[in-house]
Chains A and B, each alone.
Chain A
Amino acid sequence: MATVAPAAGSIFAKVDRDIVRTLWAPGWRYRLVMAGVLATLGFGIFCWIYQIKVGLGVAGYAPAVMWAVYITNFVFWVGIAHSGTLISAILYLFRSGWRTTINRSAEAMTIFAVMTAGLFPIIHLGRPWYFFYLIPYPNERTIWPNFKSPLIWDFFAIGTYFTISLIFWFTGLVPDLATIRDRATGIKKKIYGLLSLGWQGTVTEWRNYRKAYLYMAAIATPLVLSVHSVVSWDFAMAIVPGWHSTIFAPYFVAGAIFSGIAMVMTLVIPMRFAFGLDDYINEYHVENMAKVLLLTCWIVTYAYIFEYFMAWYSGDPIEWASFVWRATGDYKIPFAIMMLCNSVIPQLCWSKRVRRSIWGMFVISLFVNLGMWYERFVIIVGSLAHEFVPSSWAYYKPTWVELGITAGAFAWFIMWFMLFAKTLPAVSIAEIKEAAAEGYWRPGRAPEEKV
């Protein structure tokens, strides 16, 4: 690729200044929000301790609805994670220039979302201290986990996803940590020096780095598709009407990217304003995210329609009854919220004006987050509550303990993201400089103006 020279390194210096100044020394607004987040997290922890002490009876389980809000949260947060890998790995392989300014935050979001998701299978356990039974190790009875079970597949998929996402994210961070090390003093210099592993930026280092990064992107791409497929098989492998469907894997993957891209917008738009990153995250990036949102919205909407078609076309009265009940029964309001937020509201993205409206897209992203949470709820609870035998039909509603833990999980996620934004570069310094050198990016330019 032809190289366009940066103007005397001044763009590089500006990028360093802009990103490094976002670190440390939080203002009063940050502290205020963090205080609220910690208070919510504290309440969530209290709820969990209460549940451990009293037992799972404090959750609103109503047989046969024994998977409910906790599993909803698990699937929701795993889904949120997916978009980070889409932006960081898949768009990297496609050489999409617009990912450069948001990929670091999206990757961080992936890690924190997986950390949040990983809590829920443990919270869901009656005896959470035995969670390690899932880990394949030779215990004293030489009993191994059942590798034919989707729950074990899930353990391997989520474990691999978290590890690879962490390695990929940290690899991308190393050159930036060295940049910060060389601009910091005192204890900060020491800490960032250790974290940067002695990176110096020799061409040999970069050569190995580029290859490793490319391979990690290449393996993360099939991984991201496999992980939510495996999560969907937790359901699709069971014969529960509403779950036992072959479209579940692509349906869940598309939904995951849909919800994840919405969460990226929910996080980076306030961050743009809080840190004054107008040169880095602007209408151009928001519009591109809006296009991905609209595309995945239609895949999800197609899946919603097709589920109903297959339920009707299969001629299975139980399946059809389950789907009719989903839209008209006890959970018709969650179903309506799901349809409104996931299929109707995102249609606003057909308008270029809406796509380029930063706050407009922020509001739409909030609706999509809400809608996707309800989608998981409708699939899980709406199917279990109306199985084959009328005597096992049930009505579940979440208790304050479940809602408290759910709120705590959101706080847990936001806390990590806020800590990340103040201690690590939220925008990839080296990649922005590379984009500047190659002519993809210039500070202050109009989004579509050619460099």
Chain B
Amino acid sequence: MAPAGARRRVTALFDEPHAVVHAIEQLRKQRVGDVTVYSPIPEPDVIEATGGEVSIVRRYALLGGIVGCLSGFALTLWSSYAYPLVTGGKPIGSIPPYVIIAFELTILFTGIACIVALSLHNRMPRLRLRDDFDPRFTGDRFGIVVQCGPAEAPGIERTLREAGAVEVRVG
């Protein structure tokens, strides 16, 4: 039991995504701030309901692609002129074949940038899971965890139950 006056954690478990969406909407209407939503699947409706910013991964992907493309041309052109040797009767710096290297490196760097973004912004790898994590969140239950003051907890608990939570805990 949390001491009187301490912040409370309300954890609700759902087995239906539309109930989660409904619960999130209700919490937003009540202007409840500190909400974490867990989902066993990348359910678009749930992700959309939480609002939030557009994923930053796209910027990493773009940057990775540009760096990959430039480095492909830089590597091929620089190394050709660093040791000039005519091969196949082609110019020393022969752009068409170098497009292939630049293309492959564009793809490679974009992919690596995506995984770097995912790792940084999802804070992975992590050895310790969050305190409010329940193993059922990766199985068959969706979860909403609300951090709130002691006075708000009963109202939030009621809202979550009414939205269709199959289990609500206040701690």
Contact = CB atoms under 8 A, between A and B. Distances in A.
B138 A175 contact: yes
A7 to B, nearest CB: 8
B124 A147 contact: no
A164 B114 CA distance: 10
B87 A148 contact: yes
A379 B33 CA distance: 66
A1 B105 CA distance: 36
B125 interface: yes
Interface stretch (B4-12, B93-101, B149-157): B93-101
Given A201-B39, A210-B47, A222-B107, A148 B97 contact: yes
Interface string B67-82: 0000000011001101
B79 A136 contact: yes
A302 interface: no
A277 B100 CA distance: 42
A203 B50 contact: yes
Contacts of B41: 12, 430, 433-434, 437
A153 B82 contact: no
B40 A167 contact: no
B140 A12 contact: yes
A13 B139 contact: yes
Given A136-B75, A197-B126, A208-B55, A3 B40 contact: no
Given A146-B87, A183-B139, A437 B43 contact: yes
Contacts of B115: 167, 171, 212
Interface string A1-25: 1010110111011001000000000
Interface residues of B, number: 73
A128 interface: no
Nearest to A226: B103
A91 B143 CA distance: 31
B107 A219 contact: yes
A160 B104 CA distance: 6
**Among A10, A212, A220, residue most surrounded by chain B Cβ atoms (within 10 Å):** A212
A211 B114 CA distance: 9
B136 to A, nearest CB: 8
A49 B21 CA distance: 62
Contact of B42 (A148, A183, A200, A209): A209
Given A13-B139, A182-B139, A437 B17 contact: yes
Interface string A177-215: 011011100000000001001111111111111111001
A43 B104 CA distance: 36
Interface string A111-144: 0000000000000000000000000100000111
Contacts of B47: 203, 206-207, 210
A161 B61 CA distance: 17
Given A8-B15, A212-B57, A147 B39 contact: no
B139 to A, nearest CB: 5
B158 interface: no
Nearest to B118: A212
Contact of A206 (B15, B42, B85): B42
Contacts of B139: 12-13, 16, 179, 182-183
A421 interface: no
Nearest to B122: A205
B2 interface: no
**Among A148, A153, A168, A194, residue most surrounded by chain B Cβ atoms (within 10 Å):** A148
B99 to A, nearest CB: 10
Interface in A409-451: 430, 433-434, 437
B111 A164 contact: yes
B42 A430 contact: yes
**Among B16, B41, B52, B125, residue most surrounded by chain A Cβ atoms (within 10 Å):** B41
Contacts of A268: none
Given A163-B108, A215-B58, A204 B122 contact: yes
B125 to A, nearest CB: 4
A434 B138 contact: no
B110 interface: yes
Contacts of A205: 122
Which 9 residue pairs of A and B lie closest in terms of their CB atoms, listed nearest first? A198-B126, A9-B15, A182-B135, A9-B140, A12-B140, A144-B79, A211-B55, A197-B125, A5-B16
Given A167-B115, A203-B46, 5 more contacts: A10-B15, A147-B75, A183-B139, A226-B104, A433-B40
24 contacts: A1-B45, A3-B18, A143-B83, A144-B82, A147-B79, A153-B101, A153-B104, A156-B101, A159-B104, A160-B108, A163-B111, A164-B107, A174-B124, A178-B138, A199-B124, A203-B37, A210-B55, A211-B57, A212-B61, A212-B118, A219-B61, A230-B100, A430-B42, A437-B43
